[in-house]
C-alpha cells in the first residue's frame, strides 16, 4: 500500500491548506468536514502516514492505535456530541478503499452528530 504524500489531508497536516481545527495532539488532528453530511460532521485524522484502517492496523504502534481511538472520543466530547451529554450520541465511521467509498487516501474517522443520524447504511 503506497501512501500518497500529496493527498489533501497530508497537505492539511503540513499546514499547506487551512482547516477549521477542533483538536490536535501527538496522534491526531481533528477538524470540521468541508462538506458536512449532518449538523455536526468532524474528521479525526491520524498524524501518521497511513492510507486506511488496514494499513494502520498492520503498521501502527500500539500507542498510535490507542491515541487514535481515544482521540475520537475526546473530539466527540469537545464538539458536544458525546453520549455523556443529554441529547448527545453520535456515529463514527471509517471508509476503506473503493467499495467503502473512501475519497481521501489518508486514514480518518468521521464523527456525525448534533441530530439523529438515521439509517446506518443507505
Rounded to an integer, what is the distance from CA 63 to the centroid of its chain?
A: 17
Minimum CB distance to ligand 5GP smaller for 73 or for 102: 102
Please state the closest distance from residue 34 (CB atom) to ligand 5GP, in A: 3
Please state the closest distance from residue 104 (CB atom) to ligand 5GP, in A: 4
Residue 43 vs residues 1, 46, 56, 86: alpha-carbon distances, Å: 22, 10, 16, 22
Please state the closest distance from residue 18 (CB atom) to ligand 5GP, in A: 8
For the record, the C-alpha cell of 43 comes out as 474528521
Give the strands of the sheet with 90-93, arranged side by side: 21-24, 28-32, 40-46, 108-113, 90-93
Minimum CB distance to ligand 5GP smaller for 55 or for 63: 55
Known catalytic membership, residue 41: no
Query: What are the residues binding ligand 5GP (CB under 6 A)?
Result: 8, 17, 19, 31, 33-35, 95, 101-104
Total residues belonging to the chain: 122
Active centre residues (catalytic): 108
Amino acid at each position: 500500500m503506497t501512501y500518497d504524500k500529496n493527498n489533501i489531508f497530508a497537505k492539511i497536516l503540513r499546514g499547506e491548506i487551512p482547516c477549521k481545527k477542533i483538536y490536535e495532539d501527538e496522534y491526531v488532528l481533528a477538524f470540521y468536514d468541508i462538506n458536512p453530511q449532518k449538523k455536526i460532521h468532524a474528521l479525526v485524522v491520524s498524524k501518521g502516514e497511513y492510507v486506511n484502517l488496514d494499513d494502520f492496523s498492520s503498521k501502527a504502534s500500539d500507542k498510535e492505535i490507542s491515541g487514535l481511538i481515544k482521540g475520537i472520543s475526546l473530539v466527540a466530547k469537545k464538539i458536544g456530541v458525546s453520549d455523556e451529554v443529554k441529547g448527545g450520541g453520535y456515529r463514527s465511521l471509517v471508509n476503506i478503499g473503493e467499495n467503502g467509498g473512501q475519497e481521501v487516501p489518508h486514514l480518518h474517522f468521521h464523527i456525525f452528530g448534533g441530530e439523529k443520524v438515521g439509517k446506518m447504511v443507505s
